[in-house]
């Protein structure tokens, strides 16, 4: 997709455009699903039967994102058509700018709900990589579902050795000793997320099975 008018486009929307246009397969849709909604709503198409099965509901957060996260990857994969499908007009009155359901805390809420019911369903403990604004908000949201971060992974030397809500702040080298706890990577910027993915993959961990990225 391409957002217009270009001369009024803020840096955040340009970054989102680059990110979503870089998702090129069903596997990348799954991997990026908790970073942001990985499918632009006006381009989403599916047959009536799976839509009727999954349902389309209003739950106080973005309805299209709810639908994307609610699908079962084992039965319904969301693929990508490799060409531009949408010219998307950005204007001040868009619901994504003005609606309460599209405010940042509601995105955190939907991620926490589906992580708790899916990736973290089998445990009440996990490892949190990153404790910036996104990581702090996600930790609080997950705590409402009884999910507790046992450790916080950081690379900043000034933060190592601290304890956050009972979770010691440690470096990535400690991760092999924490297995098999699931890892939630909550880092907002794409560059650091790429480096973290590379580090976790080098440890033999598999994305969406052993760790997920949730900005």
- List, for residues 156-209, the tens digit of each pLDDT value: 888 899 999 999 999 999 999 998 999 999 999 999 999 999 999 999 999 999
State the pLDDT at residue 97.
Answer: 79
Judge whether residue 84 has pLDDT over 60.
yes
State the pLDDT at residue 70.
Answer: 83
pLDDT digits (tens, 9 = 90+) for 95-124: 777 889 889 999 999 999 999 999 999 999
Structure tokens at 188: 């907002």
List domains and CATH numbers for the chain.
Answer: 2-102 (no CATH), 107-213 (3.40.50.20)
Q: How far is residue 5's CA from residue 90's CA, in Å, rounded to a whole number?
A: 7
DSSP letters of 57-82? ---SS-HHHHHHHHS-TTT------S
Q: How far is residue 94's CA from residue 139's CA, in Å, rounded to a whole number?
A: 29
Judge whether residue 125 has pLDDT over 80.
yes
> 53, 34 in Cβ contact below 8 A?
no
State the pLDDT at residue 46.
Answer: 85
Residue with tokens 């046992």: 150
State the pLDDT at residue 72.
Answer: 58
State the pLDDT at residue 165.
Answer: 95
Residue with tokens 């849709």: 29
Higher-pLDDT residue of 78, 138:
138
State the pLDDT at residue 196.
Answer: 97
Judge whether residue 68 has pLDDT over 70.
yes
């Amino acid at each position: 997709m391409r957002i217009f008018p270009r001369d009024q486009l803020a840096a955040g929307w340009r970054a989102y455009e680059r990110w979503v246009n870089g998702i090129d397969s069903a596997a990348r849709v799954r991997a990026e699903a908790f970073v942001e909604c990985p499918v632009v709503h006006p381009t989403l198409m599916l047959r009536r039967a799976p839509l009727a099965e999954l349902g389309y509901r209003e739950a106080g957060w973005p309805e299209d994102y709810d639908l994307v996260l609610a699908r079962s990857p084992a039965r319904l994969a969301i693929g990508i058509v490799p060409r531009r499908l949408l010219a998307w007009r950005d204007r001040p009155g868009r619901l994504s700018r003005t609606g309460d359901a599209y405010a940042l805390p509601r995105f955190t809420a939907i991620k926490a709900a589906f992580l708790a019911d899916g990736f973290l369903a089998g445990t009440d403990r996990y490892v949190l990589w990153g404790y910036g604004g996104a990581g702090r908000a996600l930790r609080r949201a997950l705590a409402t579902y009884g999910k507790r971060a046992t450790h916080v992974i950081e690379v900043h030397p000034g933060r190592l050795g601290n304890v956050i809500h009972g979770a010691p702040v440690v470096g990535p080298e400690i991760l092999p000793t924490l297995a098999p706890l699931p890892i939630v990577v909550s880092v907002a910027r794409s560059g650091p997320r790429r480096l973290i993915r590379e580090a976790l993959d080098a440890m033999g961990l598999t994305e969406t099975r052993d760790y997920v990225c949730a900005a």
